[in-house]
Every structure is written in C-alpha cells, then in structure tokens.
Amino acid sequence: MDIKDLKAEWQKAGSGSVNEETLKLMTKISQHPTLRKLRIKLISEAIFLIILLFVYYDGFDGDKKPIYVNVLLVLSILLYITNNFLGFLFIKNPVRGNNIIVSLQKLCLVLKRMTVFSLLSSTIYAATLIFYFSVSVEFTFLKYILLGTMMLIFVIISFFSYKKWKQKIDYFSHVLSAYIKDVA
C-alpha cells in the first residue's frame, strides 16, 4: 500500500455507519473475558469466606476463643471482601478523565492506592486468621515451626502479589510516558 492508497482509505474512513447498539456492545467493558474471570474469582472467594463465617464458630471452636478474636476475624474477612469488591468496581470502569492522558494518570494513581489497600487488607486478614487459630494453642517446638512456615508462606505470597501489582503499575506508567512522548 502506498501513500495515495493510504490517503484514499483515510478519506473513506468514518463514512460507514454503525448502529448505536453495535457501538454499545463494542465499548462495553463488562463483557471482557478478563473481567469475567475476575468476577468469578471475586464471587467464589466471597462465597467461600461467607461460608467460613457461618461455620467457623462451631467448626473451629469459636465459642472457646475470646470474643475480640472472633470480632477481629469477622471484621478482617469483611474488610478483605469489601476491598476485593471495590477493586473490581474500579477495574470495571477504568476511564477517569476526559482524555487519555488524564485517564492514564488517574489510573496509575488509583492502582498505587489499590496496591496499598489490597496488600494491607490481605495482611490484616492473614494475620487475623493466624492469630485466631493460634490464640488458644499450647505451643511446642513443632507448632512454632508450623507457625513460622505459615508466616513465611504468607510473606512469599505477599511479595509475589506486590510484584504483580508493581508490574501493572509499571505497564500503565510506561504506556502513559510513551503516549506523552508521542504527543509531544
């Protein structure tokens, strides 16, 4: 294709009409496969954690634990579910500005905040869960090793979660800087 063909195609661009329903379907981000996977993950985690809330008291001797430990566990689970739900709502509507530069800048800022809140809610949830199961345990050397292993696994999972968030932020920051460079 030479430059004349390209110019001719450019002149014809926009002359075809697309009905409004087709445009709505094309721009509907909620139909994206990644969002569908996130929605399934969010719903399945929420269902699992809500079931845990209903059975932990009888199934894991919640009646033998101090009341503050039970309250902390319930609050940490609710915080974790709420954080995931709010993150999903944000991802579902990523456009935050009237142009792409402003939108990408706000996206990077919100992703940084989401990183902090996500890691914080996960840390609170994991720490509370570990605390709940270890509050009335008589510790032996083996149990200390198991507790240390659980904490190490949590730290490793948190590290990889942080790296994943950082990778997303770096990607959008790179897109933003490349777009600004191209515009300038």
Q: Which residue ranges make up each domain of the chain?
A: 30-183
- For 139, residues 6+ apart whose C-beta sits below 8 A from its C-beta are 147
When pLDDT is averaged across residues 102-120 and rounded to a whole number, the result is 91
Per-residue model confidence (pLDDT) at position 38: 86
CA 77 – CA 50 distance, rounded (Å): 8
Per-residue model confidence (pLDDT) at position 2: 66
**Listed ranges 11-20, 55-64, 73-82; the one with the highest mean pLDDT:** 73-82
Q: Are 44 and 107 in contact (CB under 8 A)?
A: no
Which tokens go with 34?
Answer: 């990644």
Per-residue model confidence (pLDDT) at position 141: 95
Tabulate helix, strand, coil % of the chain (nearest 5): 85, 0, 15
Per-residue model confidence (pLDDT) at position 105: 87
pTM of the model: 0.76
Element (H, E) at 167: helix 141-183
